[in-house]
Amino acid sequence: MTRIVYVNGEYLPEDQAKVSVFDRGFLFADGVYEVTSVLDGKLIDFDGHTKRLTRSLNELDMRAPCDSATLLEIHRELVTRNDLVDGMIYLQITRGAPNDRDFAYPAPETEPTLVLFTQSKPGLADSPMAKTGMKVISIEDQRWGRRDIKTVQLLYPSMGKMMAKAAGCDDAWMVEDGAVTEGTSNNAYIIKDGTIITRNLGTEILHGITRAAVLRFAREAQMKVEERPFTVAEAQAADEAFITSASTFVMPVVELDGQSIGTGKPGPVAARLREIYLEESRKAAI
Ligand code: PDD
């Protein structure tokens, strides 16, 4: 079956879905994106993702191509047209395609580019990694200063992923001024003496939608949460560690820079949070 992709108002077979070479996303990484997961054909945390999308657009003075209700319709139409059961929907908006390359933003009436496509991942919620845990390395955080905006400039995170692979690991945690910011495409957490510790929100990290939900569920379950920076040494001495993102939900981390965390196996708190997150998110899925 050919994947059907959405481009600027049209549903097209993927080999016919095209954008201009002058697109600002292509030339300047002048674009924002969202990744929403789909379980049993339903959208997880859709509201959170559209709210963050609006915030990203506002922070960059970028025009929205349509309202949130229309975005929801497009998401649902793509799920239907692609028979998507489990997976993700990727959405990207760029500042459009003026007819030349220019650092200055194009005229405000330039139509933004809107692209959405599906990624099928059967059994997304039953990832074997949830049983074994991930191994991560630490690397210097060399990204720009507005990581709270979900832009498509992902070269450094991509380099980080390759550094992790070269070290025989699954991901990299980025470190700035001695403290962990986040993973290449996820938020980072440790657990010490029953307290969940994760970096506080700011311009240094992306305000994860999964993070917000997981912390809410944790507090509702009377777990203690501390939002503050933590170091690599603190993480290595923690009882447990994990990450969150739309595509991995809650995923245990069992090793950092070659050192086992806790027992070296996924811990009970991360496992419980994963269970609660999946259960509650499935219930609230639309
Ligand atoms: N990444 N931090 C970074 C740098 C991210 O790229 C992401 C998401 C997160 C987690 O945010 P959320 O819980 O809203 O997915 C944190 C997506 C999944 C991606 O780039 O594929």
Question: What pLDDT shows up at residue 6?
Answer: 98
37 CA to centre of ligand 1 in angstroms: 11
Q: Is 212 touching ligand 1 by the criterion CB < 6 Å?
A: no
Q: Are 139 and 119 found together in one domain?
A: no
Closest CA to 229 of 125, 107, 141: 141
Q: Are 141 and 215 found together in one domain?
A: yes
Q: Are 117 and 169 found together in one domain?
A: no
Residue ending a domain, choose from 123, 149, 183: 123
Q: Are 265 and 146 found together in one domain?
A: yes
Q: Are 76 and 104 found together in one domain?
A: yes
Q: Are 22 and 62 found together in one domain?
A: yes
Question: What pLDDT shows up at residue 1?
Answer: 82
| Closest atom, ligand 1, to C-alpha of 48 | 14
Overall domain count for the chain: 2
pTM of the model: 0.97
Q: Are 238 and 213 found together in one domain?
A: yes
Enclosing domain of residue 27? 4-123
User: Taking the chain (286 residues) in consecutive chunks of 10 residues, what is each chunk's mean pLDDT?
Assistant: 96 97 98 98 98 98 97 98 98 97 96 98 96 98 98 98 98 98 98 98 98 97 97 98 98 98 97 97 96
222 CA to centre of ligand 1 in angstroms: 26
Q: Are 157 and 105 found together in one domain?
A: no
Confirm whether 165 is a catalytic residue.
no
Show the tokens assigned to 221: 């379950």
Residue ending a domain, choose from 123, 149, 166: 123
Residue ending a domain, choose from 89, 123, 157: 123
Q: Is 35 touching ligand 1 by the criterion CB < 6 Å?
A: yes
Q: Are 19 and 115 found together in one domain?
A: yes
CATH code for position 220: 3.20.10.10
Q: Are 135 and 241 found together in one domain?
A: yes
Q: Are 187 and 250 found together in one domain?
A: yes
CATH code for position 22: 3.30.470.10
Q: Are 23 and 162 found together in one domain?
A: no
Of 187, 207, 209, the one to substitute when testing ligand 1's pocket (max ligand atoms within 8 A of C-beta) is 187
Q: Is 209 touching ligand 1 by the criterion CB < 6 Å?
A: yes
Summarised one tens digit per residue, pLDDT across range 19-61 is 999 999 999 999 999 999 999 999 999 999 999 999 999 999 9
